Amino acid sequence: MNAIQEQDLYPSRRGTEDVITERKDPVVYGAAADGPLGQDELEAYDRNGFLFYPAFFGPDDLASFSAELDRLWATAGAARDSDEVIREPDSDIVRSIFRVHETSDVYRRLAADPRIADRARQLLGSDVYVHQSRINYKPGFKGKEFYWHSDFETWHVEDGVPRMRMVSCAIWLTENTPVNGPVMVMPGSHKWFVACSGGTPDDHFKASLRRQEFGVPSDTSMEWLEKRCGIEQPVGPAGSVLFFECNVVHGSNGNITPYPRSNVFIVYNSVENTPKQAFGPARRRPHFLGSDDFTPLPRG
Ligand code: 6CS
Ligand code: FE
**pLDDT tens track, the chain, 300 positions:** 454 567 999 999 999 999 999 999 999 999 999 999 999 999 999 999 999 999 999 999 999 999 999 999 999 877 777 899 999 998 999 999 999 999 999 999 999 999 999 999 999 999 999 999 999 999 999 999 999 999 999 999 999 999 999 999 999 999 999 999 999 999 999 999 999 999 999 999 999 999 999 999 999 999 999 999 999 999 999 999 999 999 999 999 999 999 999 999 999 999 999 999 999 999 999 999 999 999 999 998
Which ligand is closest in space to the CA of residue 264? 1
Atom of ligand 1 nearest to the CA of 208: 1
Q: Quick check: pTM over 0.75? A: yes
Which ligand is closest in space to the CA of residue 155? 1
pLDDT of residue 300: 87
Whether 99 contacts 83, CB under 8 Å: no
Helix locations, 113-197, DSSP H: 114-124, 151-157
Binding-site residues, ligand 1, Cβ < 6 A: 132, 134, 146, 149, 151, 154, 208, 212, 289
3 Cα to the center of ligand 2, angstroms: 31
Which ligand is closest in space to the CA of residue 249? 2
33 Cα to the center of ligand 1, angstroms: 32
Q: What's the rounded Cα separation, in Å, for the pair 264 and 247?
A: 18
Helix (H) or strand (E) holding 244: strand 241-245
SS3 39: helix
DSSP 76-98: HHH-TT-TTEEE-TTSSSEEEEE
Q: Atom 8, ligand 1: which residue's CA is nearest?
A: 151
Atom of ligand 1 nearest to the CA of 98: 11
Dihedral angle at the C-alpha atoms of 273, 130, 20, 17, nearest 10 degrees?
-110
